[in-house]
Structure 1
Amino acid sequence: MITEKAPGKLYIAGEYAVVENGFPAVLVALNQFVSCTIEASTNGVGQIISHQYQNNAVQWHRQGDQMVVDKRDNPFSYILSAIQVTEEYARTLNKQLAVYDLHIDSELDSASGKKYGLGSSAAVTVATVKALCRFYNLPVDNDKIFKLAAIAHFSVQGNGSLGDVAASVYGGWIAYHSFDRQWLAEQRKFLDLTTLLSLPWPNLKIESLSAPANLALVIGWTGKPASTSQLVDKISLFKAREQDKYHQFLNASRECIQRMVEGFHEGNLNTIKQEIRYNRSLLQQLGERSGVQIETPVLKQLCQIAEKFGGAAKTSGAGGGDCGIVAIDGHADLNAMIEEWTKQHIEHLPLSVHFINNIHRYTINLK
C-alpha cells in the first residue's frame, strides 16, 4: 500500500494576470491535504473511491494497456487524467501496468461538504501523480511531478495558469511565472512524455520565497464558493473587447509582483503589505471595467476589518466568493480581528504554511 499527499493552496497576489504566458503570481501552500492511497487489486478489477463521494465509487479494468471505466459520469475527471498521463509516462519507460484500488481523501473541503477554494482539483491531481510514480517506481523529481500534474490538470480544465499545481508540488511560499500552454498543447501532439518532461518549458519559472519572521498569514472564508473557470472565462471576454486596458492591468500586476518578491527577499513586511493593497486595487479596477464581481461585499468587509488592525488584505484567487487573505504583523491583535469577522459571518480558517522537505529557498528556471 502506497500513500502520498499534496497540500492545498491560496493565491496571495497576481491573480488573472498569471494566466498570461510568463506573468507572475505569489502563492502559498497550506497544511490541509489531499491524500491518495494505492493498493494492488487481487481480482483483476480496480476501484477509485473517495471519502467525499462514497456513493460514486468507480470500478475499472484493463483492456491491454487501456483503463476501461465502467461509469461514464463520475466526479473523478482530474484523477482519471492524472492516471492516464502518469501511466503514459510509465509505458514510455517499459513499465508493466497493473490493476489497483485507488482511495482519495481530502481535507480541503469541510466535513459538511463546504468548498473553501483551496485548490482541491490541483491537489488531487498532484497526489495521484505522486502515488502512481511511487507505485510504478518511476524516476521523478519535483520538476517532473509538476510537469506530469500540469499536463493532466490542463487537459481537463483547459484554462488557468497551473500555479495551484506548482504550490501543491513545491510547497511553502512561491513566486510562479506561468508557461506557454499553447506550446504544451502543440508539443503533446508530437513528443513522447519522456522527451516532453526533459525539455525546458517556455517562460516557466518557480522560485521559493522566505517570508519575514513577523509575517502572519490569516485566512477568512466568505461562505460562498466560486467557480474559477467561469470567472476567468468572463475576464477573457473583457480582454478581447478592451485590449489596451487589459494590457495596462497586466503590466501593472507584473510590476507589483516584482516589488512584492523583492519584499520577500529583503524580509520587509511593509513592502509586501503595500503591494498586496496595490494588487487589491488593480483587481477592483479590473472587476469594475469588466463587469465581473471579483470582490464581493463580504470580501470587502473582510478586507476593511483587517485594515482596522493594520493588516493588508485582498481576495484570493478568482474572487467572486471563496477566501480572502491578510498579511499582518504577528504581534497584532489577531483574535480581536477574527472575532469581528465572526460577527459578520466570515469564517476564520486556522491554516498555516506547509513546507515540503523543509526547503525554504530554491529557484527553478524551467525556461
Structure 2
Amino acid sequence: MKGHVLLITAQAPGKLYIAGEYAVVESGLPAVIVALNQFVTCTVEESTDFGSIVSRQYTENSLHWRRMGDEMVFDNRDNPFHYILSAIKITEEYARSLNQQLSVYHLRIDSDLDSEDGKKYGLGSSAAVTVATVKALCGFYRLPVTQNQIFKLAAIAHFDVQGNGSLGDIAASVYGGWIAYHSFDRQWLAERRHVLPLPELIDLEWPDLQIEQLVAPADLKLVIGWTGSPASTSKLVDKVSMVKVRDQTEYQTFVSESRNCIQRMVEGFREQNLLKIQNEVRYNRQLLHQLSDFSGVQIETPVLTKMCEVAEKFGGAAKTSGAGGGDCGIVLIDRRTDLANMLAQWKVNHIEQLSLTVHVIKEGITQLS
C-alpha cells in the first residue's frame, strides 16, 4: 500500500428532551435537552477512484410518500440518508469557500441509537447522523471549526431536509451534557441561506439563538423508559402546527406557559434544586396534556401514562420526552431512591429501562483523530 490513507472518525451523541417540547419550535422559546452516551459514528476514509456511503443500520430504510395530483411526493424527513447527503453538501460547500480541494472518500455510518431490530428509540438519530457527518468531514478537510460553527453547519444541513422543528437535538449532539436551548428564527435563516456566503452566515449571530450549558444537581438521577413503539417527530410537529391558526388563543397560552415553566426549571438547575426541577417537569406534563386536548394529537400514549404513574408513586417526576406518540419517557428522581420496585412494575407493563447516562463534550476546536 503506497502512502498514508487519511482516515477520520467522529461521533455525535443522541439526545432526549426533558421539557419544552412543541413550544420550542417557536423562535426564542426555550427547552431543556440532555445528550446521552449512545452515538452515531461517522468514518471518512480517503479513496483514489470512487466513493461510497455505507450504513449497517440504514440498509432497509422505508420511504413515506403521498399523492399530489398524479405525482408521488416523497417525505424525506425520516430517511437518514437524506441528512447524510445534506451534511456532505453543506460541509463541502464550506470547504470550497475556504479553498479546500474536494476529494473522493468512503463514508461509513454506524449508529447505536436504534434497537437491535432497527426500531427507533427516539434519541434524535437524524440530528446525530447530521452532526457526526459534519464533524468527520470538517476533520477530513482539516477545517478549523468551533463548536458554534459545527452547530450552525449541522443546523443548516438538517433544516434543509426537515424544514420544521427547533434544531434543539442538533444543539444537544454538538454541545453535550444538559443544555437550555432557545430556538433561533428559522424564517431568518431560510431568507439568508441562499443570499449570504456560508462562512459569513455561520459567523453571524443568529436571532434568538441561545445555548446554555446546565449542571444537574448531584442528587438528580435521570431514568429513561422506552415503550417499544417508535413515533415520527416531523409528522407530529406538522399536526400540532396546523392548530396554531385554528386555536390561536389556546396555543399562545400554551407557548407562554411553557416559556415560564422552562425559565423556572433552568433556575432550578442554577440553584441545584432538584425539587424545583421536578415540580416544573410535572407542570410541563400538564401543559402537554392541554396541548393534546385542543390539538387532537396523542402525545402521551397509554403506555407512557402508565410509565409516569408508576414513577410518580416512587417520588419521580415523569413525562413524555420529545414529540411523544410513543418512544421514550423520562423520570427525574432522587439518586438515593431504590428503583427496583419501580423498574419491576415497568417491566410488567412492557416498559424497558434504557441504561443510558449523560454524555458531556469538552468545548473547543475539533481535533483530528
Structure-1-length-normalised TM-score: 0.91
Q: Does residue 219 of structure 1 match 2:250? A: no
Q: Which residue of 2 aligns with 1:7?
A: 13
RMSD: 1.2
Q: Does residue 315 of structure 1 match 2:320? A: yes
Give the CA deviation at 1:114. Answer: 1.7
Give the CA deviation at 1:335. Answer: 2.0
Give the CA deviation at 1:110. Answer: 1.4
Alignment partner of 1:28 out of 23, 34, 41: 34
Q: Which residue of 1 aligns with 2:240?
A: 235
Give the CA deviation at 1:139. Answer: 1.6
Q: Which residue of 2 aligns with 1:68?
A: none
Which structure 2 segments of 5+ residues have no match? 1-6, 62-78, 365-369
Q: Which residue of 2 aligns with 1:207?
A: 212
Q: Which residue of 1 aligns with 2:64?
A: none
Rounded to whole Å, the distance in 2 between the matches of 1:190 and 1:358 is 30
Q: Which residue of 2 aligns with 1:91?
A: 96
Amino acid at match of 2:10: E
Aligned 8 A contact 2:262 2:280 in 1: yes
Give the CA deviation at 1:53. Answer: 3.0
Rounded to whole Å, the distance in 2 between the matches of 1:238 and 1:188 is 28
Give the CA deviation at 1:357. Answer: 1.7
List aligned pairs for 1:1-367, cutoff 5 A.
Answer: 1-42=7-48, 44-54=49-59, 76-357=81-362
Give the CA deviation at 1:113. Answer: 0.9
Q: Which residue of 2 aligns with 1:362?
A: none
The percent of aligned pairs where both chains have the same amino acid is 70
Amino acid at match of 2:96: R
Rounded to whole Å, the distance in 1 between the matches of 2:196 and 2:132 is 25
Give the CA deviation at 1:45. Answer: 0.8
Question: Which shows bigger deviation, 121-130 or 327-336?
Answer: 327-336
Rounded to whole Å, the distance in 1 between the matches of 2:296 and 2:202 is 39
The one-character-per-residue Cα deviations of 1:151-200 (angstroms, maximum 9, x if unpaired) are: 00000001000000000000000000000001001111210100001100
Give the CA deviation at 1:358. Answer: 7.9
The one-character-per-residue Cα deviations of 1:21-51 (angstroms, maximum 9, x if unpaired) are: 0000000000000000000112x21000001
Amino acid at match of 1:19: V
Runs of 4+ aligned structure 1 residues displaced above 2 Å come to 53-56
Rounded to whole Å, the distance in 2 between the matches of 1:45 and 1:224 is 39
Amino acid at match of 2:99: N
Amino acid at match of 1:119: G
Q: Counterpart of 2:242 in 1: which secondary structure?
A: helix
Rounded to whole Å, the distance in 1 between the matches of 2:307 and 2:151 is 33
Q: Counterpart of 1:295 in 2: which secondary structure?
A: coil
Rounded to whole Å, the distance in 2 between the matches of 1:341 and 1:75 is 31
Q: Counterpart of 2:194 in 1: which secondary structure?
A: helix
How many residues are paired up? 341
Q: Counterpart of 1:223 in 2: which secondary structure?
A: coil
Which structure 1 segments of 5+ residues have no match? 57-73, 360-367
Rounded to whole Å, the distance in 2 between the matches of 1:22 and 1:190 is 23
Rounded to whole Å, the distance in 2 between the matches of 1:75 and 1:289 is 32
Structure-2-length-normalised TM-score: 0.91
Amino acid at match of 2:28: G
The one-character-per-residue Cα deviations of 1:270-296 (angstroms, maximum 9, x if unpaired) are: 000000000000000110111110111
Amino acid at match of 1:91: R
The one-character-per-residue Cα deviations of 1:211-232 (angstroms, maximum 9, x if unpaired) are: 0000000000011101111111
Q: 1:75 to 1:15 in 2, by over 3 A?
A: closer
Q: Which residue of 1 aligns with 2:76?
A: none
Rounded to whole Å, the distance in 2 between the matches of 1:345 and 1:96 is 53
Q: 1:75 to 1:264 in 2, by over 3 A?
A: closer
Aligned 8 A contact 2:80 2:129 in 1: no
